[in-house]
Structure 1
Amino acid sequence: MVFDWGSIKWLVDPDGVPGASSTLGEVIINPDRGHDRHEHPGSDEILYIIEGEGRQTVGDGPEFPVTAGDAVWIPRGTLHSTFNTGWRPLRILATYTPGGAEAALREVPGFVELAPGAHPTWEMGGRDEPRG
């Protein structure tokens, strides 16, 4: 799944793995990008930061920094967002329990489905000016 802010590769999900009751995927958020606040009404989510640094919101609580090694639990139905504050991609392992919440992401504006084995590409905005 490719979005204007990054990409997600699902590793395990109920549609692709018979008998799976949870979802596991790698999320990559591009530098200076993030996703809008949203919720998963039927699933809890756990985020594990693999690499990079960012800002996280969960519910009405204050925004807080996240970096490699941090884990964040997001209860079902709780608004949340993640923003990459670093200069390299923010890599996250994300789980949904129960699985299936990822299906709603196909409705997000800007979503693009990639063929199996295809790699995402991004265009860099504002970089066309000559450097001097």
Structure 2
Amino acid sequence: MNNIVRRVSETDAVPLSWGRLVWLIGEKETPGAEQTLGVVTIEPGKRNPLHFHPNCEELLFVMEGEADHKLGDEMFHITAGDVIRIPQGVPHWAQAKGDTPLVAVISFSAADRRTENLEDTGDIA
């Protein structure tokens, strides 16, 4: 695989207790990239841990499913076709609702996106 075209079907998923991540573009995956792009899946009824990104903002575009998304002190319900902007440094999590997984494209404004977990799930992503 090269630095220009990457395929989800040819990229290993990172399994997590709440779902999985597929990293497509980023400093590690594609040297020279200036952003990070991935696909997150959250299983029905599960949520990722409360966390924040100290060096970048995140955009999350919902492809399938729905979720409640806690962003700072606010809660938002997001569904397929919605996008949410998560400012740098703001704690957040998403919980999949309904019977289907939440599948979303996630984009970060830095190739070396960093994540600081505020809850311990034992996951390393």
Aligned match of 1:49:
62
Aligned match of 1:86:
98
Secondary structure of 1:88's aligned partner: coil
Per-residue Cα deviation, 1:22-41 (whole angstroms, up to 9, x for no partner)? 10000000001001211111
Any residues of structure 2 matched to 1:33-44 within 5 Å, and which? 33-44=46-57
Deviation of residue 99 (structure 1)? Answer: 2.2
Task: List structure 1 segments (4+ residues) > 4 angstroms apart after TM superposition.
Answer: 102-105
How far apart, CA to CA, are the structure 1 residues paired with 2:44 and 2:77? Answer: 15
Mapped contact 2:54–2:116 kept (Cα < 8 A): no
Pairs aligned (count):
110
Aligned match of 2:86:
74
Give yes or no for the alignment of 1:16 onto 2:29: yes
Aligned match of 1:64:
76
Answer 1 or 2: which has greater strand percent.
2
How far apart, CA to CA, are the structure 2 residues paired with 1:9 and 1:58? Answer: 22
Question: What's the TM-score, normalizing by structure 2?
Answer: 0.80
Percent identity over the alignment is 33
Mapped contact 2:52–2:116 kept (Cα < 8 A): no
Amino acid at match of 1:27: V
Secondary structure of 2:52's aligned partner: coil
Deviation of residue 18 (structure 1)? Answer: 2.0
Structure 1, unaligned stretches of length 5 or more? Answer: 114-132
Deviation of residue 21 (structure 1)? Answer: 1.0
The 1:109–1:70 alpha-carbon spacing in structure 2 relative to 1, beyond 3 Å, is same
Give yes or no for the alignment of 1:96 onto 2:69: no
Mapped contact 1:6–1:27 kept (Cα < 8 A): yes
Question: What's the TM-score, normalizing by structure 1?
Answer: 0.76
Secondary structure of 1:101's aligned partner: coil
Amino acid at match of 2:86: I
Aligned match of 1:2:
15
Mapped contact 1:43–1:99 kept (Cα < 8 A): no
Mapped contact 2:23–2:37 kept (Cα < 8 A): yes
Aligned match of 1:129:
none
